[in-house]
Structure 1
Amino acid sequence: MAISSQITIFLCCAFIASLSFCSVASVPELQRLKYQLSKVDDHGSLLSFLVVGDWGRRGLYNQSKVALQMGLVGEKLDIDFVISTGDNFYEDGLTGVDDPAFKESFSNIYTAPSLQKQWFSVLGNHDYRGDVQAQLSPILRKLDKRWLCLRSFIVTAEMVDFIFVDTTPFVNEYFTNPKNHTYDWRGVLPRENYLQNLLKGFESALRQSQAKWKIVVGHHTIKSAGHHGITKELEEQLLPILKDNHVDLYVNGHDHCLEHISDTESQIQFLTSGGGSKAWRGDIKWWKPEELKLYYDGQGFMSVQLNEVEANIVFYDVFGHVLHKWKLSKELDSDV
């Protein structure tokens, strides 16, 4: 569905005017975009989107099959946009803006009409092994207008605020024990200053948010029973901010699985959508049964439909079969 409004984004003093948004005031260190909703239901505005992560493998490891099902579900739900939870290009990000992997893993894979919408993407640890500036470059948006990747930013869509967070620089291991990998830390160093400013902007954005729904998107897990498990740095630095500011959903990738953990100590739903391509690790760590609502060690993706009173979350496998549904309202959470 076409959206007529435009956005003015100032990023590194560059003017970008090809997206369907409009500009609003920013908070420290975080770019803010406004997305105009165009659908309504009995409860007012309606928003639908898909979430996929850990996907960029030139169609291999069932990436193309996941893309096919995303297209079918996207058409059925008439989605507004797609969210990517990072690790957009394997194994080592992009080599530059002219890297053919951009077309071979993105433009040539997600070809369904319903997926020709805006993609909001964050960086994953594998993306940091390549040329980070390439993924952030407006040149890629000229190659494929759907693409938008920023380090950390906010998307406001009337009743919901999405806060996208650059989680890779939080992880100590990538700095202290890189395991023969080279990371592109341009724009991050000095790390302490970067994280301090990011946390300040992140907390400020959540504290000032008047949205009905607050959704935080990052690459790394906070709570997970999967291969990577809990990211201690995020548990210590981000989780308290999520709890203090009544975040509804934390959405991530990193673990190559589909997962739903319903936190019993807060209202937060932890949702992992990292099954965009290579998966099936075959390992799962013990987790409280009352919290672990879904763990699927395979490929797939997630959809979310939001209105003023409820959110409907659905996980799909590589064949488009529904694995799990969850309904969240401001009055009641219930398994459906």
Structure 2
Amino acid sequence: MTNHSPQLLWRNSSTLESVFVVVMGTFAEKSIALVLVLLAASAMLPALLPCSAELQRFEHPIKPDGSLSLLVIGDWGRNGTFNQSEIAFQMGRTGQELNIDFVISTGDNFYENGLTGVDDKQFEESFTNVYTAKSLQKQWYSVLGNHDYRGDVLAQLSPILRNIDSRWLCVRNFILNAEFVDFFFVDTTPFVQTYWINPEEHHYDWRDVAPRETYISNLLKDLDIALKESTAPWKFVVGHHTIRSVSDHGDTAELSAFLLPVLKANGVDMYINGHDHCLEHISSNDSPIQYITSGGGSKAWRGIFVPNVDKLQYFYDGQGFMSMQLTREVAEIAFYDVFGRTIYKWSTSKLRHQAA
């Protein structure tokens, strides 16, 4: 198979001594404390950490005409069942039409309980043997979902999987630069407190992220620095969990409390996620942020709708995927159903977006 490896640009391995003290108590108290400490610490960071934040950075080239095309799919890995194979077929057709450059996965890559290890055949049965279209033989950039944490998380992060299928790239938190756009990939599962204190019958693999408070504060610090350093006209953040949603899972309180203030403070254009098994677009009422859900990669049709405080632009309670077509001036998204039909389109210009 062709090597689709992006270029790894840099990683700063130095570690800032812990300056975050998270106040224990109620969830609301911890939310407020963490945000306040982050803001206070940010004033110290130029002196303490003059170099870039500890996020791996990858680079992907744009087309010669100055454009970029990609697909976004989430919540998919079910060995081809629940219409996963049909969605994959339609992704292949759309990918060919748009001449896509890469694919983004918004997490819950392998159901129900992630991978058991790097030799788990589900990797091939749910990924390699399903997304076989020629147009999909491009780099896949992936984040982890909560179902992935129920298995061996380190297996999905292992370079061994790239030896099996070179398309696969899954890193816990990283930046993807494509000249005029920066994608910031964020591992959101550790944010959700209930997975830690009330996992029910499930086991979550917290290796390399425990303790939770340290993980969250360090990630927010690094993300804040990286967003401030970004000179790309477009800034998109990709995570698994919803910030805003009208479907089954609804809003994620921890992301609204911890992550959203950092996104708003740094002019993020879109937050792209999975988790809810649907397609939806919600516009923020108090910022330019667009909340985009693409989680219809396999099992869907939850039959749940809960109104949201922000402006709902579109909601499709079913299976499907999303495309993005970008230039320096214009961003366009489109949703497709299981039959490959375009069911929604929306676009914005950078000038209009900045004015808003």
Please, what TM-score do these two structures have when normalized by structure 2? 0.86
- 1:189 aligns with 210
Distance in 2 between the 1:221 and 1:300 partners? 17
Does the 8 Å CA contact 1:302/1:313 hold for their aligned counterparts? yes
> What secondary structure, in the 3-state scheme, does the structure 2 residue paired with 1:331 have?
helix
C-alpha RMSD of the superposition:
1.4
Residue 18 of structure 1 deviates from its aligned partner by 6.4
Equivalent positions of 1:220-259 (< 5 A) are 220-259=241-280
Deviations 1:113-142 (A, max 9, x none): 000000000000000000001000000000
- 2:128 aligns with 107
Flag the structure with higher strand content: 1
Aligned amino acid, residue 244 of structure 1: A
Residue 331 of structure 1 deviates from its aligned partner by 2.3
Matched, 1:23 2:44: no
Does the 8 Å CA contact 1:24/1:34 hold for their aligned counterparts? no
Equivalent positions of 1:1-336 (< 5 A) are 19-24=5-10, 26=12, 27-40=52-65, 45-287=66-308, 291-332=311-352
> What secondary structure, in the 3-state scheme, does the structure 2 residue paired with 1:332 have?
helix
Does the 8 Å CA contact 1:29/1:197 hold for their aligned counterparts? no
Distance in 2 between the 1:25 and 1:184 partners? 24
Distance in 2 between the 1:117 and 1:275 partners? 20
> What secondary structure, in the 3-state scheme, does the structure 1 residue paired with 2:140 have?
strand
**% identical equivalent positions:** 61
Q: State how many pairs are aligned.
A: 313
Extract unaligned runs of 5+ from structure 1: 3-16
Distance in 2 between the 1:133 and 1:249 partners? 28
Residue 195 of structure 1 deviates from its aligned partner by 1.4
Does the 8 Å CA contact 1:299/1:317 hold for their aligned counterparts? yes
Deviations 1:242-264 (A, max 9, x none): 11111011000000000000112
Which protein shows a greater Rg? 2
Extract unaligned runs of 5+ from structure 2: 13-51
Distance in 1 between the 2:176 and 2:187 partners? 14
Deviations 1:185-213 (A, max 9, x none): 00011222111111111111111111010
Residue 36 of structure 1 deviates from its aligned partner by 2.0
Residue 39 of structure 1 deviates from its aligned partner by 3.0
Aligned amino acid, residue 101 of structure 2: D
Residue 21 of structure 1 deviates from its aligned partner by 2.1
> What secondary structure, in the 3-state scheme, does the structure 2 residue paired with 1:200 have?
helix
Deviations 1:245-289 (A, max 9, x none): 11011000000000000112110110000000000010110135x
Deviations 1:15-66 (A, max 9, x none): xx961325246533311111122331xxxx2110000000000000000000
> What secondary structure, in the 3-state scheme, does the structure 2 residue paired with 1:228 have?
coil
Flag the structure with higher helix content: 2
Aligned amino acid, residue 31 of structure 1: Q
> What secondary structure, in the 3-state scheme, does the structure 1 residue paired with 2:85 have?
helix
> What secondary structure, in the 3-state scheme, does the structure 2 residue paired with 1:304 have?
strand
